Amino acid sequence: MTLTQDDMQLFKDLRMTEFGRVIQEIIDDPARDHDSFEDKIQQALYAQRDARDNRRIEKLLKAAGLAYTGAALERFDVTTDRGITTDRIKRLASCDWIHHGQDLMVIGATGTGKSFLAQALGVTACRAQLPTRYVRLATLADDFDALAINPTARKEFMADLAKPSLLILDDFLTTTISDHALLQVFNLLVTRENASTVIASQHQPDYWYSVFNDSAIADAVLSRLAN
């Protein structure tokens, strides 16, 4: 028995192309002749599900805007003195903290792997089919400044950043940004109160305060991150 082109087109129309491909493989493999009908159908269904999941993950990775999609938590070196343990990595890999809307700060000097870790968390979230967005703070600040004269576009931009389950702000306050951009970053954090945000920076929070020209905004941003 061989599936016809019409059969395969039907599978395609039903968005079950992988199911049809595996069914044909089973038909062509004499070693599978004695397998039960249920086993054959189950294998084809699992293959279809895996293909669907892989397509969604690829789509999420592309939409995330990660600079390095090859980053992975299992490749993060915990043997060096980085203040993070294997058990902590395992807990982060579960993504439970994202499901609970918890924030995370990754602080470390240049070369300690903080950006790799932040992006590995993003890749892990995408693999768990959680919408993710990665952006460097300087780039985000430029976008906010460019949208300062267009409140409608700024509101839409803010709403788009509020949607992902995980937002990663890399290189947080490593360069000076405008007071306007700082205020918008605070508004973004408030908007994402129930969603997870990762802050990756080479500076401790005490330093962040020193780069704010407006102490009221500084207090508000730091209070939001602390809570």
User: What is the arithmetic mean of pLDDT over 168-197?
Assistant: 89
Q: Quick one: pLDDT at residue 71? A: 85
Per-residue pLDDT, averaged over 167-176, amounts to 90
CA distances for 29 relative to 1, 4, 8, 181, angstroms: 11, 17, 18, 62
Give the global pTM.
Answer: 0.81
Give me the pLDDT at residue 7, please: 58
In the chain, what percentage of residues exceed pLDDT 90?
Answer: 37
Q: Which of the four pLDDT bands, split at 50, 70 and 90, describes residue 82? A: low
Q: CA-CA distance, 39 to 187, in Å (whole number)?
A: 53
Q: Can you tell me the mean pLDDT for 153-175? A: 93
**Domains along the chain with CATH numbers:** 5-63 (no CATH), 66-226 (3.40.50.300)
For residue 24 the two structure tokens come to 């044909």
- Span of 95-99, 132-136, 206-210 with lowest mean pLDDT: 206-210
Residue 220: predicted pLDDT: 72
Q: How confident is the model at residue 110 (pLDDT cuts 50, 70, 90)?
A: confident
The vertex-193 CA angle with 189 and 197, nearest 5°, equals: 60
Using the predicted structure, report yes or no on whether residue 226 has a pLDDT greater than 90. no
CA-to-CA separations, 220 to 43, 54, 209, in angstroms, rounded: 54, 40, 10
| Average confidence (pLDDT) over 117-146 | 95
Q: Is the pLDDT of residue 51 over 90?
A: no
**Regarding predicted confidence, which is higher, 95 or 193?**
95
What pLDDT is attached to residue 86? 82
Lookup result for tokens 């990663």? 168
Is 112's pLDDT higher than 80? no
DSSP lists the bridge partners of residue 201 as: 107
How high is the pLDDT of residue 29?
Answer: 66
